[in-house]
A and B are shown apart, each in its own frame.
Chain A
Amino acid sequence: MKVHIPSPLLSYTNQQNDVEANGSSIAEMLDDLNRQFPGIRFRMIDEQDSIRPHMKIFVNGEQVWGLETALEGSDEVYILQALSGG
């Protein structure tokens, strides 16, 4: 599936805005991203497996709140940076 990467994380993806990742859930997709781009997962998901406060994940335009959300190969995932102050 296609995953859109926000600008704060482009240093992990060699400046690629769009990358391909596999997985049948958000958790598996993130694990695959981390295999390809080591360290990227922890910057957006904390050690208790929660999405960090200033990051958001959308699947096909709908925001998801947990990592257990199921995914299909045709899904489009957007990782966004939320507001985070000055």
Chain B
Amino acid sequence: MKSTSKRKPSNAKSEKASVTLLIATKKGAFILNSDGKRRQWEVKGPIFLGNIAHHLVLDPRDRRTMLMAAKTGHLGPTVFRSTDRGKTWKEASKPPAFAKAPEGQKGRVVDHVFWLTPGHASDPGAWYAGTSPQGLFHSEDGGENWESVTGFNDHPMREAWTGGEQDGTPDGPKMHSIIVDPRDPNHLYIGMSSGGVFESMDKGGDWKPLNAGCLSEGAPEKYPEFGQDPHCVRLHPLAPNILYQQNHCGIYRMDRRSPNGDARWERIGEKMPKSIGDIGFPMVLHPRDPDTAWVFPMDGTQVWPRTSPGGKPAVYATHNAGKTWKRQDEGLPKEQAWMTVFRQAMTADARDPVGIYFGTTCGEVWASANEGAKWSCIARHLPHIYAVEAAEI
């Protein structure tokens, strides 16, 4: 698809508008606000200090409602809600929870809510939540009450798809990357670590694997129907037949001819430098150009350090759907910087040029106001960062 990055963007935010970053950390949440030029940043917070916040998301439909996925070291998982852009918060009346198991059977327990996704633009108040272990939940009232999406949570193939609770990240198996097709509120995608990518055409009533072409290194079958580990899946909002994923086994893109048409992942990370590889957690798309994307490579060799290769952090960008990749490290430390950036912790704003942001597990937030060409650290000494979301307030 032809790049649109050099056209005058029709949906770019005003160049004078400030940018807000919603930061979820292991010890609470923070909000960073910029000036109009995205040069000066102010840190506000902490919000719910001591809570393990996995995701903090603004509802783009009203630009007022925020949801936060949280738990503490002692207390069970919940969702906090704000309807005034984070000034005041209330807990959900009915947080996500699996159904009680029949007597004598072992039931599942939500350990934490990991991912939050606002519903379709035509469905105000609708939200989705993904949990650890892998579960999908739905709210119709702005996150106040959550119901199990039984089409997934009770699906007869769920246990096979997810591989059981030992088949997940060190922090537990997760459902993430819940995506609503902007053309169709019934068309949903999910990513699971592990499990793979799945889609539903009936708003979660039934699901099918969507993993053709995607490697599962080390598995008995290299290209199984399911069981892969997509770290982060993205759908392009203006070209919704195009998806990308940063997988445990490389960077992939899918071009579909129709919304649910032929579906095959093509590995586009093989053009990354061999010394860097194409392993990482996050992936970010340009809001207007479907061929431009950014990744943050990590060391996926031997025992999987999951840190910047060689201690030299860099973002890599493609402007041609993965045919070539460009290293972007100006302003980042040149050595002895062993950064880890989690799958929710890298994002883009809607400005022109696009701002790119990432947060590290050592509590730094880095920003580029020129699409990755130059980086600066805009916050440090925060707790371990799980998620960074750019909000348009």
User: Which A residues are closer than 8 A to B by beta carbons?
Assistant: 6, 8-9, 38-39, 42-50, 52, 54-55, 81-82, 84-85
Contacts and interface: CB of A to CB of B under 8 A. Distances in A.
Contact of B76 (A6, A38, A42): A42
Given A46-B97, A47-B107, A48-B100, 14 more contacts: A6-B74, A8-B74, A39-B78, A39-B93, A42-B95, A43-B76, A43-B78, A46-B76, A47-B98, A47-B110, A48-B98, A48-B101, A52-B74, A55-B74
Interface string B130-164: 00000000000000000000000000000000000
A52 to B, nearest CB: 5
Contacts of B78: 39, 42-43
B101 A8 contact: no
B150 to A, nearest CB: 14
Nearest to B92: A39
Q: Would you call the interface of chain B mostly helix, strand, loop, or mixed?
A: loop
A42 B79 CA distance: 12
B74 A82 contact: yes
Contacts of A81: 74
B219 interface: no
A9 B107 CA distance: 25
Contacts of B93: 38-39
A82 B91 CA distance: 23
B223 to A, nearest CB: 36
Nearest to A54: B74
A50 B109 contact: yes
A84 B109 contact: no
A48 B99 CA distance: 8
A8 to B, nearest CB: 5
A45 B109 CA distance: 10
Interface string B51-77: 000000000000000000000111110
Contacts of B98: 47-48
B109 A46 contact: yes
A52 B110 CA distance: 11
Contacts of A47: 97-100, 107, 109-110
B112 to A, nearest CB: 12
A50 B110 CA distance: 12
A70 B76 CA distance: 24
Interface string B78-101: 100000000000010101011111
Given A46-B109, A47-B107, A9 B75 contact: yes
Nearest to A83: B73
B107 A48 contact: yes
A42 B94 CA distance: 9
Contacts of A85: 73
Contacts of A54: 73-75
Contacts of B72: 8, 84
Nearest to A49: B100
Of the listed residues A47, A55, A81, the one surrounded by the most CB atoms of chain B closer than 10 A to its CB is A47
A76 to B, nearest CB: 21
A44 B344 CA distance: 28
Contacts of B101: 48
Contacts of A82: 74
A48 B95 CA distance: 14
A9 B72 CA distance: 11
Contacts of A50: 109
9 contacts: A8-B74, A39-B91, A44-B75, A46-B76, A46-B97, A48-B100, A48-B106, A49-B100, A55-B74
